[in-house]
Amino acid sequence: MIQRPTILSRRMSLAFVTPAAVLIILFLIYPFFSIISMSFTNQSLTGAAARNPQFVGLENYTNLFDFENWMSRGEFGSSLWITVQFVFGSALIGQAGLGLFIAILFYRRRDFFRHLVYTLAIVAWITPDVVIAFAWFAFLDPFTGTLNNVLGLFGISPLDWLLDYPLVSIILFNTWRGTAFSMLLFTSALSSIAPSYLETAQVIGASRWQQFKDILLPLLQTTIATDLILITLWTFNTFTPFLLTGGGPSFRSELVSIYTYRIGLQRFEFGAGSAVAVVVMMINLILASIYLVIARSRRPR
């Protein structure tokens, strides 16, 4: 096969790519290998282990997976379990469920309400983390917070959300925060479905539930899979709930990201923190690979 000459010679194209490649190697590729190698050492910021880190083999990993007490509060297993519940509740049920619900509710509508709901959901999504976290801090305040005031209208007595229900709080928080992405993704997928499918179904008298289950759902299948994988990946890695609860009280909302931060950057146990990061990366790798397979399979042949 004869190749057409490219606009840039090989040397020129390398010159164009190099500056970005240097930074990507430094901040993406290097950390990847650095995490793996550090996880087998006892490196830390201060003390003897800082100047002269020792190779400790699998010690960091055996500490992490010490099944005797790994489910006690503040240990890795407990943090992992909290994260699983958080991902399940806030991403898979909360964001994806609510996002799909909104997209279908406003399917082929362009009225004021659609505009209002979409705008508010997007504002919740793009406002900076620290501001949103404070908004929720005020919203959940046990004495004067809006949530308790609203529940009070229905005769529900005030709750101390962040103290007594920290996990529920961050699940609600993250659902509210991130629904816009799924909503927009599903909306754009729905808008590409030919209206004739549903019209035909209506003509032959299919119920709304049948139309949803037998027409929309199968057509949305790959979009739903894509959405679930992406938001699982992001939610699994999010650090934002730290701003609301700091992982507490007594580690009850300590997600894996917050656990990593505490071990690695508050206690400065780099070795132990890296071992957690390796586990996180392995889980990410599985999720990302599934995503790539789905993305590839839906590409037009």
Residues 229-258 that bind other proteins (CB under 8 A): 233-234, 237-239, 243, 246, 256-257
Q: Rule CB under 8 A: say whether 12 interacts with other proteins.
A: yes
Q: Rule CB under 8 A: say whether 188 interacts with other proteins.
A: yes
- State which of residues 62, 127, 221, 222 lies at the interface with other proteins (CB under 8 A): 127
Q: How far is the CB of 68 from other proteins (least distance, A)?
A: 26
Q: Rule CB under 8 A: say whether 24 interacts with other proteins.
A: yes
Binding mask 38-77 for other proteins (x = CB under 8 A): x----x----------------------------------
Q: Rule CB under 8 A: say whether 293 interacts with other proteins.
A: no
Nearer to other proteins, 71 or 123 (CB): 123
User: What letter does residue 142 receive in the DSSP assignment?
Assistant: T
- In angstroms, the CA 301 to CA 297 distance is 9
Q: Rule CB under 8 A: say whether 9 interacts with other proteins.
A: yes
Q: Token digits for 89?
A: 């509740």
- State which of residues 40, 76, 176, 251 lies at the interface with other proteins (CB under 8 A): 176
- What is each CA distance from 284 to 129, 170, 210, 230, in whole angstroms? 22, 21, 36, 10
Q: Are 24 and 13 in contact (CB under 8 A)?
A: no
Q: Rule CB under 8 A: say whether 204 interacts with other proteins.
A: no
Q: Which of the stretches 56-64, 65-73, 128-136, 158-166 binds other proteins when contact is defined by CB under 8 A?
A: 128-136
Instruction: Name the H helices within the chain.
Output: 10-24, 30-38, 48-51, 59-64, 76-86, 96-105, 112-126, 129-139, 146-153, 161-164, 166-191, 195-203, 208-211, 217-219, 221-237, 241-245, 256-261, 270-297
60 phi/psi in degrees, rounded to 5: -60, -35
Q: Rule CB under 8 A: say whether 16 interacts with other proteins.
A: yes
